[in-house]
């Protein structure tokens, strides 16, 4: 629900009412905005450096296809119930498990990456102002400035993010096409077909592509809860994520081959278009970072058991913390830890999917928030995380956790089981 200011979204964890649900086109733009960022280009670059270009694009496309399938499945859960991902976990993990484990892991991950991504934008802006206009803006000031600007859309909520993406996505697609053309004109076509020494298997490439969007998969319900039904969710996810994700990874791969630089913004600067280059950095960072801190704010509300209508204030505080940690370089020392958190996030999705689809048969009426701790979820999460880490690919945590939950639930029945009236939790 909303407060008196109808332009500012106040709802956090309670179900989104039917009158506030939206069409698939507007939310497809939000989904697309998450994919248009430096990390998506980096994905293509890493694949192109490790295998032939065509194979790199194919591996990335397959990895993104798996992302879309799983995002759609978890998105169905969100649109069925109208609730965020952390709230969905109250069935498979119990209220205490969702609050003290799931929401904390989600929040640390999302707030941390908000700070790191914002730091990239701030650094680029400072360098641009110094080289172009001779204005020396301190890095800390630049990071804080853009952190606060990016925070505004997340504070206002999903509709503000839609408006931002409606403007930025078409612009960025044009910039990507122009940047690639200019790179070809300057560096030629020959480099694109140059041989590369293989350093990664095809399936490892597929896994790498998935890992770039692992957290977005598990938190897919944060956006999908605004969808009217499953059909709308499928359209917004498939058409919003897959085309843009494949385009960005492909361009990142091609640019790396021909110019040695995966970032289109830097290519534009190199060919003499610095203003468009810096604008593309800002917009691509902004569209992704708004989603990061929006979801992070929802998780903080749950973690601290705060009133639902305090989402805005919580998002502001979370954004300020992430911005300051990035501005002072603290997050640079724990970036590897944040990457490791993907191994802890993915098994959450497996438990949620097993509880909703295998135990509850995909029927919204069978989903129930469970008091205390659901040990089937905790056990499946722990085993899934350990096995995924040993295997080396975060996405396998979803599969391991799903299988373990389905087995463990036989001994620790979930309330999502059809006709089951008992719950064994503490």
pLDDT digits (tens, 9 = 90+) for 368-410: 999 999 999 999 999 999 999 999 888 899 999 999 999 999 9
Question: Do both 320 and 377 map to the same domain?
Answer: no
Q: What is the mean pLDDT of residues 2-6?
A: 47
Question: Do both 242 and 119 map to the same domain?
Answer: yes
Question: Do both 298 and 369 map to the same domain?
Answer: no
Q: Say if 11 falls within a structural domain.
A: no
Question: Do both 299 and 416 map to the same domain?
Answer: no
For 22, phi and psi rounded to 5 degrees?
-125, 165
Question: Do both 264 and 204 map to the same domain?
Answer: yes
Query: Is residue 254 over pLDDT 80?
Result: yes
Question: Do both 282 and 360 map to the same domain?
Answer: no
Q: What is the mean pLDDT of residues 54-66?
A: 93
| CA-based nearest residue to 210, from 77, 402, 59 | 59
Q: Say if 1 falls within a structural domain.
A: no
The whole-angstrom separation of Cα 160 and Cα 153 is 5
pLDDT score at 419: 55
pLDDT score at 234: 97
Total number of domains constituting the chain? 2
The DSSP call for residue 310 is G
The residue range of the domain holding 391 is 341-426
Q: Say if 359 falls within a structural domain.
A: yes
270, 71 in Cβ contact below 8 A? no
Question: Do both 43 and 159 map to the same domain?
Answer: yes
Question: Do both 385 and 249 map to the same domain?
Answer: no
Kindly indicate the confidence band of residue 306, based on its pLDDT and cuts at 50, 70 and 90.
very high
The whole-angstrom separation of Cα 398 and Cα 128 is 42
Domain edge (last residue) among 338, 370, 401: 338
Domain edge (last residue) among 338, 360, 392: 338
Q: What is the mean pLDDT of residues 279-287?
A: 86
CB atoms within 10 A of CB 8: 15
| CA-based nearest residue to 118, from 348, 372, 321 | 321
The DSSP call for residue 332 is G
3-state secondary structure of 5: coil
The whole-angstrom separation of Cα 424 and Cα 410 is 11
Query: Is residue 91 over pLDDT 50?
Result: yes
Which CATH number do you get for residue 164?
1.10.4160.10
Instruction: Name the residue with higher pLDDT: 377 or 308.
Output: 377
What would the two tokens of residue 424 be?
């064994």
Q: Say if 16 falls within a structural domain.
A: no
CB atoms within 10 A of CB 424: 14
Question: Do both 384 and 253 map to the same domain?
Answer: no
No. of H helices and E strands in the chain? Answer: 19, 0
Contacts of 164 (CB under 8 A, 6+ apart): 33, 153, 286, 287, 290
Q: Say if 4 falls within a structural domain.
A: no
Query: Is residue 264 over pLDDT 70?
Result: no
Q: What is the mean pLDDT of residues 248-263?
A: 78
Give the number of residues written for the chain: 426
Q: What is the mean pLDDT of residues 80-90?
A: 96
The whole-angstrom separation of Cα 121 and Cα 277 is 12
Contacts of 183 (CB under 8 A, 6+ apart): 254, 255, 258, 259, 267, 271
Kindly indicate the confidence band of residue 63, based on its pLDDT and cuts at 50, 70 and 90.
very high
The whole-angstrom separation of Cα 155 and Cα 325 is 19
pLDDT digits (tens, 9 = 90+) for 161-207: 988 888 888 888 888 778 778 877 777 776 666 677 788 899 889 98
| CA-based nearest residue to 423, from 368, 362, 351, 365 | 368
Kindly indicate the confidence band of residue 411, based on its pLDDT and cuts at 50, 70 and 90.
very high
Tell the residue number behind the tokens 């733009």, with chain if given.
29
Query: Is residue 420 over pLDDT 70?
Result: no
Domain edge (last residue) among 281, 311, 338: 338
Question: Do both 279 and 352 map to the same domain?
Answer: no
Query: Is residue 267 over pLDDT 80?
Result: no
pLDDT digits (tens, 9 = 90+) for 44-55: 888 988 898 889
For 3, phi and psi rounded to 5 degrees?
-90, -165
The whole-angstrom separation of Cα 326 and Cα 123 is 11
Q: Say if 218 falls within a structural domain.
A: yes
The whole-angstrom separation of Cα 181 and Cα 191 is 14
Kindly indicate the confidence band of residue 224, based on its pLDDT and cuts at 50, 70 and 90.
very high
Question: Do both 145 and 200 map to the same domain?
Answer: yes
Kindly indicate the confidence band of residue 271, based on its pLDDT and cuts at 50, 70 and 90.
low
pLDDT score at 4: 45
pLDDT digits (tens, 9 = 90+) for 93-152: 999 999 999 999 999 989 988 988 888 888 888 888 887 888 999 989 999 999 999 999
Q: Say if 228 falls within a structural domain.
A: yes
Question: Do both 349 and 323 map to the same domain?
Answer: no
Residues paired with 227 in a beta bridge: 22
| Rounded percentage of the chain residues whose pLDDT exceeds 70 | 90
Q: Say if 260 falls within a structural domain.
A: yes
pLDDT digits (tens, 9 = 90+) for 315-358: 999 999 999 988 888 777 765 776 788 899 999 999 999 999 99
Q: What is the pTM of this model?
A: 0.89
Kindly indicate the confidence band of residue 426, based on its pLDDT and cuts at 50, 70 and 90.
very low
To 5 degrees, how large is the angle CA 12–CA 17–CA 20?
A: 90
């Amino acid at each position: 629900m909303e407060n008196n200011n109808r332009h500012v979204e106040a709802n956090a964890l309670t179900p989104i009412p039917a009158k506030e649900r939206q069409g698939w086109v507007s939310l497809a733009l939000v989904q697309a905005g998450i994919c248009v960022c430096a990390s998506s280009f980096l994905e293509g670059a890493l694949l192109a450096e490790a295998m032939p270009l065509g194979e790199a694009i194919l591996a990335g496309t397959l990895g993104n296809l798996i992302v879309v399938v799983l995002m759609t499945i978890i998105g169905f859960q969100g649109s069925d119930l109208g609730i965020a991902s952390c709230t969905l976990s109250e069935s498979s993990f119990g209220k205490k498990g969702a609050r003290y484990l799931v929401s904390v892991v989600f929040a640390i991950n999302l707030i941390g990456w908000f700070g790191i991504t914002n730091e990239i934008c701030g650094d680029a802006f400072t360098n641009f102002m110094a080289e172009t206009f001779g204005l020396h803006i301190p890095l800390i000031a630049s990071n804080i400035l853009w952190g606060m600007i990016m925070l505004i859309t997340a504070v206002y909520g999903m509709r503000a993010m839609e408006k931002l993406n409606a403007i930025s996505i078409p612009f960025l697609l044009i910039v990507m096409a122009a940047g690639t053309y200019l790179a070809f004109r300057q560096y030629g076509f020959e480099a694109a077909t140059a041989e590369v020494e293989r350093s990664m298997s095809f399936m490892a490439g597929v896994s790498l592509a998935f890992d770039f969007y692992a957290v977005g998969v598990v938190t897919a319900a944060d956006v999908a809860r605004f969808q009217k039904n499953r059909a709308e969710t499928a359209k917004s996810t498939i058409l919003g994520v897959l085309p843009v994700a494949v385009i960005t990874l492909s361009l990142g791969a091609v640019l790396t081959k021909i110019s040695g630089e995966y970032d289109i913004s830097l290519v534009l600067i190199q060919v003499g278009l610095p203003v468009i280059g810096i604008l593309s950095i800002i917009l691509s960072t902004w569209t992704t970072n708004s989603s990061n801190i929006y979801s992070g704010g929802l998780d903080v509300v749950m973690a601290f058991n705060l009133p639902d209508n305090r989402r805005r204030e919580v998002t502001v505080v979370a954004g300020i913390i992430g911005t300051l940690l990035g501005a002072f370089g603290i997050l640079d020392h724990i970036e590897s830890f944040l990457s490791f958190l993907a191994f802890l996030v993915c098994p959450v999705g497996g438990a949620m999917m097993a509880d909703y689809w295998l135990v509850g048969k995909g029927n919204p009426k069978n989903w129930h928030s469970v008091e205390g701790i659901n040990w089937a979820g905790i056990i499946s999460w722990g085993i899934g995380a350990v096995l995924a880490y040993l295997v080396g690919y975060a996405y396998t945590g979803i599969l391991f956790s799903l299988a373990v939950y389905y087995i463990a639930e036989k001994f620790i029945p979930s309330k999502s089981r059809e006709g089951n009236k008992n719950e064994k939790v503490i």
